[in-house]
Amino acid sequence: MLFLSNHEVRALLSLPRMLDVLEVGFRAYSTGETSIPPRTAARTPSGLLGAMPGWVAGEGLVIKAVTVFPGNVTSGRASHQGVIAVFDERDGSPLCVMDAAHVTAMRTAGAAAVSVRALARAHTPTLAILGAGVQGHAHLATVPLVRDFSAIHISSRNREAAERLAALDPRCVVVETFEAAVRGADVVCCCTDTHAPVTHHGWFAPGTHVTSVGGTFGPELDPQTMRLCRVFVEWRGAAENSPPTGAHELQGRDTSTIDELGEVLAGLKPGRQTDDEITVYKSTGIAFEDAVVARLIYDAAIAAGAGTALDL
């Protein structure tokens, strides 16, 4: 069995290739070529431990154990930590154990980037990123791969964190408030650890594409935005299961009013229909994303002769 450290995972993961395999995963899920049971979680007073098994036909069989402890930011430790185990889908043999932190960060932002590629208008000069933590960094690394932005607004409740993130790209400018960052933006990526909405529907210009990957412990998007805009998800279970399996913003919502992004990518449902409609991609994270990305990294490790071989 192979072991891959965080450093090795980072070195092996090609972000453009990751976006392509994530599209494969989205389509496979929405066309019934996966087995993805709802994730479960054990809660502690300060966080949770989640278990996420998943199989994508021909693309990966994995289980991820991941902890989410938001308070870790005060001690300099990552809020999301864990491991992913990759198995042979033919006989169940364990193939690899890898650090999950970088996979979780990049596949989450990468899935949002896939939604931008599929749903945003072709001409999108301005990107706004709300939040400057791990996901803010991951979105800055992935979303500009799918659109040619000329300006990127960075906003965070932590000014120093926003300045550090903005320093990574000359297109970035720090904006004091979330509202100021959102107004006039063509794509808005919400990446916060909020317990309450950080947006207001009136801030979004016609035609904006909005992504939301935060909200583990509360809604990130305001109710009016969720009610008035077209909503796309990884899976309809986001509305059928209570948090943290499902999304706070979608609780009690009729699933016929939301579409899976994979249905759009597979040509089963329409994506953006007019230049003026506001589209929303609400993410909860789902194991098919871990499966395809972990398998991509494992295959790259085998090709490069990377990692450490272990005996169980």
- What span, in angstroms and rounded, lies between the C-alpha atoms of 53 and 59? 14
Contact 294/86 with Cβ under 8 angstroms?
yes
Q: How confident is the model at residue 70 (pLDDT cuts 50, 70, 90)?
A: confident
The chain-wide mean pLDDT, for the chain, equals 96
Q: How confident is the model at residue 78 (pLDDT cuts 50, 70, 90)?
A: confident
Q: Is residue 125 part of a domain?
A: yes
**196 & 228 share domain:** yes
pLDDT of the residue at 5: 97
pLDDT of the residue at 215: 82
Contact 135/214 with Cβ under 8 angstroms?
yes
For the chain, what is the domain count? 2
Q: How confident is the model at residue 274 (pLDDT cuts 50, 70, 90)?
A: very high
Q: How confident is the model at residue 104 (pLDDT cuts 50, 70, 90)?
A: very high
Q: Which domain holds residue 176?
A: 121-282
- The CATH number of residue 293's host domain is 3.30.1780.10
- What span, in angstroms and rounded, lies between the C-alpha atoms of 173 and 158? 14
Q: Indicate if the pLDDT at residue 75 is higher than 90.
A: no
- The CATH number of residue 159's host domain is 3.40.50.720
**What's the pLDDT tens digit per position in 143-197?**
999 999 999 999 999 999 999 999 999 999 999 999 999 999 999 999 998 999 9
Going by C-alpha positions, the residue among 128, 145, 146 that lies closest to residue 189 is 128
Q: Residue 190 contacts by C-beta under 8 Å, 6 or more apart in sequence?
A: 130, 131, 198, 199, 210, 211, 212, 213, 214, 220, 221
**271 & 304 share domain:** no
- What span, in angstroms and rounded, lies between the C-alpha atoms of 277 and 279? 6
Q: How confident is the model at residue 84 (pLDDT cuts 50, 70, 90)?
A: very high
pLDDT of the residue at 102: 96
